Chains A and B, each alone.
Chain A
Amino acid sequence: MKIRTSEYFIREVFFSLKRNNWMSVASIATVAVSLFILGMFLIIVMNMNRMASSLESQVQISVYLKEDISKQDVKDLQDDLQNMQGIASVTFVGKEKAMERFKERLGDQKFLLDALGDTNPLPDSFEVTVKQPELVKTAAAAISNYSGVESAKYGQDVVEHLFDITRLIRIFGLALMAVLAGATLFIISNTIRLTVFARRKEIAIMKYVGATDWFIRWPFLLEGIVLGCGGGIIAALALRSAYGMIAAKIYNTLAYFPLIPTYPFLNYISLTILLSGMIIGALGSTISLKRFLKA
């Protein structure tokens, strides 16, 4: 593209942004709101995913042993587990120790256990940690196959619940995003249509004297991209400050909460938002130009 030509395009874009000022503002605002919501969902889904996987990696495997297992078998099993690949540590927790911990966890409500009397229904168990979080699932599955092992649990209920919720949010978010993207496309293509209409005489002359489709298309495409980009910038800025504020609140109350650190995460999100804005803008103008350039 020649310098002279790009100059011409840029002039055209700013001229028509000014001419359609209210529609331009409306388009930018719609894009901004849509992209902000899109960004919010992205942030929530990514954080939930991270939370789920961090829970998965933190949890140790509780290996509950059968009641009738002999001391020797326990010892052998411990050795076997320790020699398994990827296992970091294996700690034996006797049933008495387990009861003690349980009482501790119940705190004020440990009177509930009075009903049990002297019987201790808790089994002996091992606490197993793995070297890499990804190994938790396979290790738990392998351990539960050993004889003498009643079951091997690693809090998969919690993790799976979390994944379920994340999946729901993702589906809901996708549906919402589709609707918002549709609305945004609609308003941008309408704004561009106004510009096309205002310049229809010029376009007709351009075609008669032999301007190429791309030469005619560029100013409109740029206008759409500017609208989308403008909305994207606003959305990205809003998201950055919103995430910063929410993160600060969460850290104050729940210090251990595994939020994704602000940087460079927010930069990626901003980039995604900006790119989405530009793509939506370009698509919007393509839609309104398609019929016009056919003839």
Chain B
Amino acid sequence: MIHMKNVCKTYENGAVALDHVSIDIAKGEFVFLVGASGAGKSTFIKMLLREVLPSEGVLQINGHDVVHMPHGEVPYLRRGLGVIFQDYRLLPDKTVFENIAFAMQVIEAPRRLLQRSVNAVLDVVGLRDKYKCFPNQLSGGEQQRVAIARAIVNDPAIVIADEPTGNLDPETSWGIMDIFKRINTAGTTIVMATHDKTIVDTMKKRVIAIEDGRIVRDEARGVYGYEN
């Protein structure tokens, strides 16, 4: 699903963000990406989204050769990825329904699927009754659920979440993690960067720890391993 071999990233100012990272993530895995700020987590995530390219090494996602793919193929790589951010990134002038439908419209998904798919993901995140609301009428947790719904509405093979619970209180965070668990159980690979020790320690999933651009730990049923 995701195959990285000796991936390095050196920024133009000489900063080394990733240093010979090799990793394989299989279909259906649930992976936590942990590490201090500036350790290389964001570069890792951005590379999966092909916002930054590896300086060297091999990166394959969903069968796409990310390093050598032509610019015009990038959108098709991203259609296989659902992405969720700490700050939700919803469109404030669109309703919940429209925000989710937008993700389908812009890839010109068939119109007849729209209603059904949006309702289905609204059920997954438990917001069926709030479809008419605007983002500013929702709590943070609810907004993040909308963002998750938007990320999965096109049925991606991999969901990439960058600190999805970073702005949420613990109780709400657990609600979000429940949704991720359900999505994962349905077969979707999940890669989640997080600082939340409790969540990582409780979920007992694969943990990849990054420090100074290198993978220092990769455990199948790992723990956070740092003091917050």
Total A-B pairs, Cβ < 8 A: 54
Residues of A within 8 A of B78 (CB): 207-210
Assess A2 versus B79: contact at CB under 8 Å? Given A205-B102, A209-B154, A212-B72. no
Contact, CB under 8 Å: A208 / B91: no
Residues of A within 8 A of B76 (CB): 210
Indicate whether A248 reaches chain B with its CB closer than 8 angstroms. no
Contact, CB under 8 Å: B75 / A204: no
Cα-based distance from A108 to B218 in the complex (angstroms): 113
Residues of A within 8 A of B108 (CB): 2, 4-5, 215
Cα-based distance from A205 to B135 in the complex (angstroms): 15
Indicate whether A73 reaches chain B with its CB closer than 8 angstroms. no
CB-CB contacts below 8 Å: B11-51 with A: 49, 51
Contact, CB under 8 Å: B89 / A205: yes
Cα-based distance from A204 to B75 in the complex (angstroms): 12
Interface residue ranges, A against B (CB under 8 Å):
2, 4-5, 8, 201-202, 204-213, 215-216, 295
Cα-based distance from A202 to B105 in the complex (angstroms): 12
Contact, CB under 8 Å: A201 / B106: no
Residues of A within 8 A of B81 (CB): 210
Residues of B within 8 A of A205 (CB): 89, 91, 102-103, 106
Residues of B within 8 A of A206 (CB): 106
Cα-based distance from A295 to B71 in the complex (angstroms): 10
If A210-B81, A215-B108 are given as contacts, then 10 extra A-B residue pairs at C-beta distance below 8 Å, sorted by A number, are A4-B108, A209-B79, A209-B154, A210-B75, A210-B78, A210-B154, A211-B106, A213-B72, A213-B75, A215-B107
Taking CB as reference atom, which chain A residue is nearest B92?
Answer: A201
Residues of B within 8 A of A207 (CB): 75, 78
Taking CB as reference atom, which chain B residue is nearest A201?
Answer: B91
Assess A202 versus B72: contact at CB under 8 Å? Given A208-B83, A211-B106, A295-B51. no
Interface of A is mostly: helix
Indicate whether B68 reaches chain A with its CB closer than 8 angstroms. no
Indicate whether B111 reaches chain A with its CB closer than 8 angstroms. yes
Cα-based distance from A4 to B106 in the complex (angstroms): 10
Assess A209 versus B91: contact at CB under 8 Å? Given A2-B108, A4-B111. no
Residues of B within 8 A of A211 (CB): 75, 106-107
Taking CB as reference atom, which chain B residue is nearest A294?
Answer: B71
The 10 A-B pairs at the shortest CB distance, nearest first, are namely A210-B79, A210-B78, A211-B106, A210-B75, A209-B103, A206-B106, A212-B75, A208-B83, A4-B111, A210-B107
**Nearest chain A CB to B100's CB is how many angstroms away?**
10
Taking CB as reference atom, which chain B residue is nearest A211?
Answer: B106
Cα-based distance from A2 to B106 in the complex (angstroms): 11
Residues of B within 8 A of A2 (CB): 108
**Nearest chain A CB to B177's CB is how many angstroms away?**
22
**Nearest chain B CB to A201's CB is how many angstroms away?**
6
> 9 interchain pairs (CB within 8 A)?
A202-B91, A202-B102, A204-B89, A209-B83, A209-B107, A210-B81, A211-B106, A213-B72, A215-B106
Cα-based distance from A206 to B77 in the complex (angstroms): 13
Interface string of B67-87 (1 = CB under 8 A from A): 000011001111111010000
CB-CB contacts below 8 Å: B159-208 with A: none
Residues of B within 8 A of A208 (CB): 49, 78, 83
Cα-based distance from A108 to B108 in the complex (angstroms): 85
Taking CB as reference atom, which chain A residue is nearest B51?
Answer: A295
CB-CB contacts below 8 Å: B127-160 with A: 150, 154
Cα-based distance from A207 to B107 in the complex (angstroms): 10
Of A4, A207, A212, A216, most buried by chain B (CB within 10 Å of CB) is: A212
Cα-based distance from A208 to B78 in the complex (angstroms): 6
**Nearest chain B CB to A129's CB is how many angstroms away?**
65
Cα-based distance from A204 to B150 in the complex (angstroms): 14
Of A4, A5, A208, most buried by chain B (CB within 10 Å of CB) is: A208
Taking CB as reference atom, which chain B residue is nearest A295?
Answer: B51
Cα-based distance from A2 to B105 in the complex (angstroms): 11
Cα-based distance from A2 to B111 in the complex (angstroms): 10
**Nearest chain B CB to A12's CB is how many angstroms away?**
11
Assess A4 versus B105: contact at CB under 8 Å? Given A208-B83, A209-B79. yes
Assess A8 versus B105: contact at CB under 8 Å? Given A204-B89, A205-B91, A208-B83. yes
